[in-house]
Structure 1
Amino acid sequence: MKALVSGESGDYHVAEDVDVPSPGPGMILCRVHAVSLNPVDQKIIDYSNNPGAVGGFDLAGIVVQIGEGVERFKAGDRVLAVTFGLNPSDRTAGAFAEYALATVDLSCHIPETLSFVQACSMGLSIITAGLALFQAPGLRLSMPRLDTVTGEGAGAFVLVSGGATSTGTMATQFLKIFGYTPIVTCSPANNNLCESFGATACFDYHSSTCGADIREHTGNTLTNVFDCVTSAATMKMCYEAIGSSGGTYITLEPVTTAVKYTRRDVHADWIMAHSALGVPLELPGTFGRPRIPEHRQFGALWFGLIEKLLHEEKIRNHPLEVREGGLSQIPLGLEAFSNGSVRARKLVVPIVA
């Protein structure tokens, strides 16, 4: 099969003779119909290149083969899934290929009302937002059971910094569904977008008083912040927004210690979506992490709940920009992350015309 793999010089190229992987226990093999691009696809090849490994995290397609013990899926099912591109433990694991493996626990059936192009854009945002909001070391907000998707948040404020990112709009939807009051930071041009996904108030992160404005809006009661931007500037702003009783700040990369210790009443930590695979993250430096069994267990429950929400049309995808041309167009799309031209939309690439 054709697949997009990493090269020795830290770039991606299309290889035409990659073996089609075989699904092991608890795995499914999918004919990939569409993939989406994420900043992590570029960051990981820069930070921890694995020459010859298949890249990509997000996919949607049709199941063509199931592994031992798989009962939830069968050949012919339409699915979305999240995997781990450039995986040091499994060079075949990426999504950027004509055929890709997916873990049953991190996959779900997609309704006929959802196209492959729409569905492929959701998986990584779904698990990232889920871990950040509902699992340690995230905010650990109350999450409903699978059979009772009802609001448990009692209207409590939760700030999503970077509300116009794909993870931000997904987190906002979850907070709204589960009874919280989501507020976001974004550019004023994206206020309508964020409000359409459930944000009750939007704050301009360019403003020097952004943190103070949020603190006033929440009556000094804000205790939970999810930062999808992950910079020293946004962390400082979020710390200013958290009320005087303290709280929890969660982000997507190691926290800036210079800001972290400016408030001892705020617990700051970060999550990596990769840990939902339930295997050690064999990455260098601070990004390496041991196996977290609880995250694998959460993933299984979470994607079951997501499947229910998708079929009830309670969650939807981020705005999309479709890049035609198949696998060979993906490196050009990833360059857009480097030059900062991707804003308030998700890049997707159809693999099957």
Structure 2
Amino acid sequence: MSKSVSNLTAVLPSPGSALIIQERAIPSLGSGEMLIRNRALAINPIDWKRQVYGLAVSSYPTVLGGDIAGVVVGVGPGVTSFKPGDRVLASAPGILTGNSDHGAFQTYTTVMAAVATKIPDNITFSEAATLPVVVSTAAIVLFDVLGLPVPDPESTAANTNPTKTGILVWGGASSAGSAVIQFARLAGLTVFATASPQHHDKIRALGATAVVDYRSPTVVEDLLAAAREAGTPITLALDAISTEETFPLVARVLAESEDASAIPEGVSVQWVAGQRIWKERLDLGSLVFNKLLGKWLETGEVVPAKVQVVEGGLSGLQAGMDEVKKGVSGVKLVVELDE
């Protein structure tokens, strides 16, 4: 690559500061890594939380962001499944490594090839950019934390022998919630979800058997009634919202308990650490990203989130993070980078 190529970057220079646009060196390549020329970047709630609270920031200046889609421009030693020119989506591991070369919010990013997927022709860069972080989350939730078997990578269809296991996804319209719904369906689970009424049709289309308005004063009873009607008890759950208000309700559904002040007996709780996909569960990352996700996208078994483009490219990232901080529903904010 020519040394004259510019790597414009949205840099966080200090705790709580606004992003500024600077030029930094083209990221270097290590073993098992690829260099991506980014074409679309998605914004996640963790991005503004890292900016405001310094979460998982080891030093400044730093480069935030975890969701990228673009074109491979270089591959490091050991990379055989990708080549320059491939359109890919990838999960940028900067939050784990602390290395700004691994941050998404720049023109070029170095990623692990094991956590990347070739983008099929029916998916745009902007749509693809909505997926990496939430796919990592869904994979860790279902196949690591909950220990469910990973679907057969040789099959492009949903599980034809569904289990009689029900899972509740609280916050089904969120990007993470929508991904878990789809992956849970592919794993053969019966899915129940909560969301605002305007999102119910969309969530059913993703694979939920029943969707309940989370604002309903009888939301717990409504979910339990839906489970009885489906003949499938709800024994697993993901709280994609995770607030003091949502957790007791999720726990009550699991335990069929009226005690909303504590974790009911028989309910175990685990936090979801999505960054495990890059380290402890790189095997799972490779299976899901390299072998499953591309097929599922091509066949429509998995669909990306609805995209809302934030104008301005890298310069629009700060406005996008401010918007996500205020709250968005049913969409994922994406900035697009010119060729």
State the TM-score, normalizing by the size of structure 2.
Answer: 0.90
Cα deviation per residue 1:126-159 (whole Å; 9 max; x = unaligned)? 1101111111xx2222322212455154242111
The residue aligned with 2:153 is 146
The 4+ residue runs of structure 1 with deviation greater than 4 A are 258-261
Moved more, 62-71 or 169-178: 169-178
1:3 matched to 2:9? The reply is yes
Of 65, 69, 87, 1:60 maps to 69
Q: Distance in 2 between matches of 1:157 and 1:215?
A: 11
> 2:151, 2:186 within 8 Å by CA — same for their partners in 1?
no
TM-superposed CA distance for 1:239, in Å, is 1.1
1:13 matched to 2:13? The reply is no
Residues 70 and 214 (structure 1), Cα distance of their counterparts in 2 relative to 1, 3 Å cut: same
1:167 matched to 2:153? The reply is no
Residues 199 and 126 (structure 1), Cα distance of their counterparts in 2 relative to 1, 3 Å cut: same
The residue aligned with 2:329 is 343
> 2:15, 2:53 within 8 Å by CA — same for their partners in 1?
no
The residue aligned with 1:131 is 140
1:324 matched to 2:336? The reply is no
Aligned residues: 323
Q: Distance in 1 between matches of 2:185 and 2:95?
A: 34
Unpaired runs of 5+ residues, structure 1, are 246-257, 279-292
Moved more, 14-23 or 112-121: 14-23
The residue aligned with 1:156 is 165
Secondary structure at 2:208 match in 1: coil
The residue aligned with 1:265 is 266
Secondary structure at 2:245 match in 1: helix
Amino acid of the structure 2 residue aligned with 1:15 = I
Of 234, 237, 241, 1:229 maps to 241
Residues 91 and 259 (structure 1), Cα distance of their counterparts in 2 relative to 1, 3 Å cut: farther
Q: Distance in 1 between matches of 2:287 and 2:253?
A: 32
The residue aligned with 2:3 is none
Q: Percent identity?
A: 30
The residue aligned with 1:282 is none
Q: Distance in 2 between matches of 1:115 and 1:217?
A: 36
Moved more, 201-210 or 31-40: 201-210
Q: CA RMSD in A?
A: 2.0
Q: Distance in 1 between matches of 2:162 and 2:136?
A: 19
Secondary structure at 2:50 match in 1: helix
Secondary structure at 1:242 match in 2: helix
> 2:249, 2:260 within 8 Å by CA — same for their partners in 1?
no
Cα deviation per residue 1:189-213 (whole Å; 9 max; x = unaligned)? 2111211212111111112221122
> 1:318, 1:345 within 8 Å by CA — same for their partners in 2?
yes
Secondary structure at 1:16 match in 2: strand
Cα deviation per residue 1:134-187 (whole Å; 9 max; x = unaligned)? 11xx22223222124551542421111000001111111112223221110011
The residue aligned with 2:282 is 296
1:34 matched to 2:51? The reply is no
Q: Distance in 2 between matches of 1:105 and 1:312?
A: 22
Unpaired runs of 5+ residues, structure 2, are 1-6
Secondary structure at 2:315 match in 1: helix
Q: Distance in 2 between matches of 1:112 and 1:259?
A: 48
Of 100, 104, 119, 1:91 maps to 100
Residues 96 and 34 (structure 1), Cα distance of their counterparts in 2 relative to 1, 3 Å cut: same
TM-superposed CA distance for 1:117, in Å, is 0.9
State the TM-score, normalizing by the size of structure 1.
Answer: 0.86
1:177 matched to 2:186? The reply is yes
Amino acid of the structure 2 residue aligned with 1:76 = G
> 1:59, 1:81 within 8 Å by CA — same for their partners in 2?
yes
Q: Distance in 1 between matches of 2:261 and 2:110?
A: 39
TM-superposed CA distance for 1:243, in Å, is 4.2
TM-superposed CA distance for 1:261, in Å, is 4.4
> 2:21, 2:314 within 8 Å by CA — same for their partners in 1?
no
Amino acid of the structure 2 residue aligned with 1:143 = V
The residue aligned with 1:283 is none
> 1:160, 1:171 within 8 Å by CA — same for their partners in 2?
yes
Q: Distance in 2 between matches of 1:89 and 1:338?
A: 23
Moved more, 82-91 or 183-192: 82-91
The residue aligned with 1:284 is none
Q: Distance in 1 between matches of 2:93 and 2:260?
A: 30
Secondary structure at 1:200 match in 2: strand
